[in-house]
Amino acid sequence: MTFQLMVDGGADLSKDLLEKYDVKIVPLNIHFNDEEYKGIDLDIEEFYRMVSESEELPKTSASSPNDFYNHFKEVDPDTPILMLALTKNLSATYQNAVLGKEMLQDEEPNRTIEIINTKTASSGIALLLNEAGQLREDGAKIQKVASYIEGCVEKTTTLFSLKTVENLIKGGRLDKMRGAIAKTLNIKLLMKASEEGAIEVVEKVRGEKKALRRLVEQIGEYTKSLEGKTIALAHGNCEEKAKKVLASIREKYNPKEEILVEMGPLIATHAGEGGLVLAFLED
């Protein structure tokens, strides 16, 4: 292994990806009332149950600089680290990772640690990690891989489809009156990560079938084909729906590879049960 791959709790990865590329995770924090959990320690089914029974969403917080320092320090000093961080427009994770790196390099100046602001989340980070992992398997050194991934960041499109606005209401991102109207009219939100990694609503669609159809159609607005490319899809406890969406994508765009992952607690806190996050590289 020429370098160590690392992500934070904003990434949603499958067990296969974690094992294949020997990925280390710096977990984010989930706060339910007075209890604090590390994202990787919270069972996802238990998480959804707790959310459904609560009037308020759990709070999330970034890993501290000290968390990153400790995780970086655990890696052999002679092994470079490539850290793919959650978009800094949604979290202090990237900034804290940089501070953790600086803390360690004060002690061990010869450490090589590359930290990338992915400007995405969830399956978007899974997509970038897969690209980095394949290059590492081909023997590429960390500087070449980091440079390539920086370029991929600018070409990554991340699309979101929300089945429910309930979490947006609970989280205060949508007022209760508008939320009630949206629920009554069966409005579904289609969202996108902006060029700087913020999340913006791009369409409001009535009915989930139409929303999912538009999600697939939107791919064609960014790339003519996925031939030779990878598509990554994260789902919020709705695997069968996600597989049907992937089948539609396969038929329409013919991707080379598909990555299907389940949302972890951090992303599910905001996307809600039934949500989807889709990521691919533009032309």
Q: What does the pLDDT average to over 184-213? A: 77
Q: What does the pLDDT average to over 168-185? A: 47
**What is the Cβ-side half-sphere exposure of residue 145, based on CA atoms within 13 angstroms?**
27
**Statement: residue 174 has pLDDT above 50:** no
The model's pLDDT over 61-117, given as tens digits with 9 standing for 90+, comes to: 889 999 999 999 999 999 999 999 999 988 899 999 999 999 999 999 999 999 999
Average pLDDT of the chain, as a whole number: 87
The model's pLDDT over 235-273, given as tens digits with 9 standing for 90+, comes to: 999 999 999 999 999 999 999 999 999 998 888 887 778
When the candidates are 3.30.1180.10, 3.90.199.10, 3.40.50.300, 3.30.160.60, the CATH number that belongs to 156-281 is 3.30.1180.10
Domain boundaries 4-154, corresponding CATH code: 3.40.50.10170
The model's pLDDT over 212-243, given as tens digits with 9 standing for 90+, comes to: 999 999 999 999 889 999 999 999 999 999 99
- Tell me the domain boundaries of the chain: 4-154, 156-281
The model's pLDDT over 32-54, given as tens digits with 9 standing for 90+, comes to: 877 777 766 677 888 888 877 77
